[in-house]
Structure 1
């Protein structure tokens, strides 16, 4: 994300609340937010979630790196409403962001893209808000909305056909977290777990030949469930290509 701020502080008092905050949070929590440098005010393609270019521009580039909300990559793709608490500088609604990276700052939960940070401000107070650098905020988990886009399975750029397959799941709408991904092994007639390589990237060495069928475990408001995507990636898959499914999470 282009920064390397490191601060150590005690999180015990908030960590005990994490099970409730992970996917069913419907109230505001106090925290702090800052922003990172970006020449075009967009996100970064090298974020820890592994989203690449998607992480730069998704949600009109209203994106953020998070610290404890990253949750070893499970928090990637989650959406939050973030609003600063200074009524003279900030709007009541703040900005809706998508988590695309990991980052630590001065006791901050959110390190926002410049575009997202400025959108917390009133129309004529953005410069003053940037001058603060770090501001007190409130945030809550909200459903992700992508204008009807269906779930996509992107073959990550680190993949090497046909010996190594890495994927990242894009546009998971609603308040859902992807916990695990399995791939169907036709000759063994069983599901084989893929490894969470880092962030939102799952991989497997020597994947099965033929069309790729996947299933993924989702945690959301309805609890835990498995969703299947049969033959979602063709046998001659291409690195960098995102394959659209008929699945639309809510």
Structure 2
């Protein structure tokens, strides 16, 4: 390939990839700071509504500042983070960790999480992989990366006959869900669910007694269809595993 064509392709790739995974065209890394929260075993839950899925995401999770959280649109996204200060704050300078966004960082401190700052409030196990406990807050570089998940997307259905609330978890790829649709057996059309909060999506359509097919679209434009993932006999409170 001619050098000028290679250069053109690199320019195009650098322009497009940050739009999907949130990186800087000059190497893919952006600047932020990180703190930690929770007990040593790690925490999960909060504003993304994923408290029932500790085994899926723990212990390497993070709360995001509002600038990154984007009104829950970033729930489930994965970030590669590395400590960049070498004056005693970093336990392993330039060593990176990958974490999943599962919560919103509180802004009450008026500093680190307050808009428009990009900030990560890491679980303690994640923080201690890269930062010294005594430092408390460390400068980091970060970038969006694909989420590597075991198994398929999971759909947990709660509510009642006239209100269905579906929690979507274990989503691969970009990890952050943009749209959820359901097709109930016998229906000709897809029903688009509305984000209730976090990764909980709602519809008032009558779904009970019908097998269900879910279609999930992530913010990178990838769509995954899980055909007949819930059988006719499904009950509220159950979780069903589809594709990824």
TM interval, short-chain normalised: 0.7 to 0.9
Return 25-34 or 194-203, whichever deviates more.
25-34
Matched residues in 1 for 2:19 and 2:41: separation? Answer: 29
SS across alignment from 1:117: helix
Shift of 1:107: 2.8
How many correspondences in the alignment?
A: 214
Alignment TM-score, normalising by the size of structure 2: 0.77
Matched residues in 2 for 1:198 and 1:80: separation? Answer: 21
Q: List, as ranges, runs of 4+ consecutive aligned residues in structure 1 with deviation greater than 3 Å.
A: 19-22, 56-60, 185-188
Q: 1:188-231: per-residue Cα shift (whole Å, max 9, x none)? A: 511121110011111112433411122122332xxx24332222
The alpha-carbon distance between structure 1 residues 136 and 51, as it changes in their structure 2 partners (threshold 3 A), is same
The alpha-carbon distance between structure 1 residues 175 and 44, as it changes in their structure 2 partners (threshold 3 A), is closer
Partner residue, 1:217: 217
Alignment TM-score, normalising by the size of structure 1: 0.75
Give the one of 142, 152, 166 matched to 2:154.
Answer: 152
Give the one of 104, 110, 121 matched to 2:120.
Answer: 110
Please state if 1:208 is matched with 2:207. yes
The alpha-carbon distance between structure 1 residues 83 and 240, as it changes in their structure 2 partners (threshold 3 A), is farther
RMSD (Å) for aligned C-alpha atoms = 2.5
The alpha-carbon distance between structure 1 residues 73 and 185, as it changes in their structure 2 partners (threshold 3 A), is same
Matched residues in 1 for 2:194 and 2:187: separation? Answer: 19
Q: For structure 1, which runs of at least 5 residues remain unmatched after alignment?
A: 1-16, 122-128
Shift of 1:138: 0.8
Matched residues in 2 for 1:185 and 1:234: separation? Answer: 10
Please state if 1:196 is matched with 2:195. yes
The alpha-carbon distance between structure 1 residues 177 and 69, as it changes in their structure 2 partners (threshold 3 A), is same
Partner residue, 1:72: 71
Structural mapping, 1:1-250, within 5 Å:
20-23=18-21, 25=23, 27-36=28-37, 38-45=38-45, 47-54=46-53, 56-67=54-65, 68-87=67-86, 88=88, 89-91=90-92, 92-105=94-107, 106-108=111-113, 109-121=119-131, 129-146=132-149, 148-155=150-157, 159-185=158-184, 189-209=188-208, 210-220=210-220, 224-245=221-242, 247-248=243-244
